[in-house]
Amino acid sequence: MHTHYRTWFPFILIGLTLALVLGILAWMQSPGGGDVEALQVFAPTVEEYQTEIVALLSDFETSNNAEAAYSQLLNIRVPAEFKAFHFDLALILFHASQDDSLDISADLDTLRSQNNWLQ
């Protein structure tokens, strides 16, 4: 014999769903609730970038800590015209951070000769 028990589960589920939908609608209608502001990140100027790179390289030459310089380099925002340079410098510093015995002075001199502002 089957005895049918009345279950409250479907009613609770429907009630919670309605409460969720009404809560979202109320939040969207509140002033500023539905507005999503895009985070705007601007590329630095050429002068700002060059100043940061010169400071980074001078710090690297005094400390000779390639890992710290590489980490700092990855946090620098790059203007579009310096992407290739930035990539080359990142590769040089990465290789130096992986192998402490690696001499990268020739690579850095090549970059300096290609970019007069590093002199």
Can you give the residue ranges of every domain in the chain? 46-118
Name the pLDDT band for 105 (thresholds 50, 70, 90).
confident
Dihedral sign for Cα 87, 80, 75, 55, please: positive
Share of the chain above pLDDT 70, in %: 90
Per-residue pLDDT at 90:
94
Q: What is the DSSP letter of 81?
A: G
CA distance 53 to 57: 6
> What is the average pLDDT value for the chain, to the nearest integer?
86
CA distance 36 to 119: 45
- Phi and psi of 13, rounded to 5°? -60, -45
Q: What tens digit of pLDDT does each residue of 38-94 get?
A: 777 777 889 999 999 999 999 988 888 889 999 999 999 999 899 999 999 999 999
Per-residue pLDDT at 85:
92
